[in-house]
Each structure stands twice: as C-alpha cells, then as structure tokens.
Amino acid sequence: MNIRAAIEELLTAGYGNKAIARQVHVRHQRVAEIRAELGIPNVVRPTTATYSEDAFWRRTQPVGDHLTWTGHFNSTGVPCLRTTDGMHTAYRIAFRIRWGREPVGTVRPGCDMERCVHPRHVEDAQMRRQYAAIFGEVAA
C-alpha cells in the first residue's frame, strides 16, 4: 500500500492528523492537506486535563452550600493547584469540572462567599456578560 492510500484509510477510520503522521512517518501538514482534499472534518477532542479532578476535590472542604479551598494560595490570594505543567487556579479547574469547557477570561466566584471554589458557583467573563445582558446589571 502506498503512503497516500494508507493516509486516506487512516483518515477514513477517524484518526487525527498527528496520530496518522506518526504512524505513516510524514509531516502532519501533509495529512492535513489530504484531509482537506477529501473533505474529511478535523478530529476535535476535548482538551485533556493535566491535573486530576481528585486533586481538586482533595483540597476542598464544604462550608454550608459553598466550598472552601484548603490548598495553596498564590501571592494575590487566589486558590491554586500546582501541576506538572504549571499553576492552575482552582476557579478555572472548578469551571471546567462544571461546564466541561475552557473558561473565557477571568473566572471568579459568583456567590457571596469570598474565594468559594464550588464548581456551581464560579463564573467566567462570558457568563458575567450574559447575566448582565439578561438582568441589566453592569458586568464586574
């Protein structure tokens, strides 16, 4: 089987450009070109978390309906989790747990408890704008 046919077969089977490139030993740009020619949509996978959700939950403690952070705080008082690829704010991790997507802009607690990290209580900039549009409040 020639390389082109192998690439086409793997594309049809649903593999990603980089996975195919590794397997067939071509540049992933070449795979992308063939994908475009064939009109096969890109494989989109959700971003892989480099921390475990367990690590988040182990550093939280319920306070009434809220969740307080028992882990590390950075110099500006933001709850943080250090991982192999750097620091993540607990707010952003909480947001991803609740919504399964990357937050837009800054994530902050939207409830009345300071530094609350409850996944249901954190909001990103996009949510604050939407609330402001619905309720007519000025986005903070």
Per CB under 5 A, residues contacting Zn ion are 66, 111, 113, 116, 118, 121
Residue with Cβ nearer Zn ion (22 or 120): 120
Tell me how far, at minimum, the Cβ of 27 lies from Zn ion, in Å.
Answer: 48
Q: What gap in Å lies between CA 73 and CA 90, rounded to an integer?
A: 9
> Nearer Cβ to Zn ion, position 16 or 110?
110
Which H helix or E strand runs over 20?
helix 17-24
Q: Closest approach of Cβ 121 to Zn ion, in Å?
A: 3
Q: How far is the CB of 110 from Zn ion (least distance, A)?
A: 8
CB-wise, 66 or 128, nearer to Zn ion? Answer: 66
Question: Terminal CA-to-CA distance of the chain, rounded, Å?
Answer: 60
Distance in angstroms (rounded) separating the CA atoms of residues 119 and 91 = 8
Is the Cβ–Cβ distance between 110 and 127 less than 8 Å?
A: yes
Contact 121, 111 (CB under 8 A): yes
The 3-state DSSP class for residue 97 equals helix
Residue 43 vs 111, nearer CB to Zn ion:
111
Query: Which tokens hold the place of 117?
Result: 């990290």
The least distance separating Zn ion from the CB of residue 107, rounded to whole angstroms, comes to: 13
Residue number, 11 or 116, with CB nearest to Zn ion: 116
Residue 49, token pair as written in the block? 């978390």
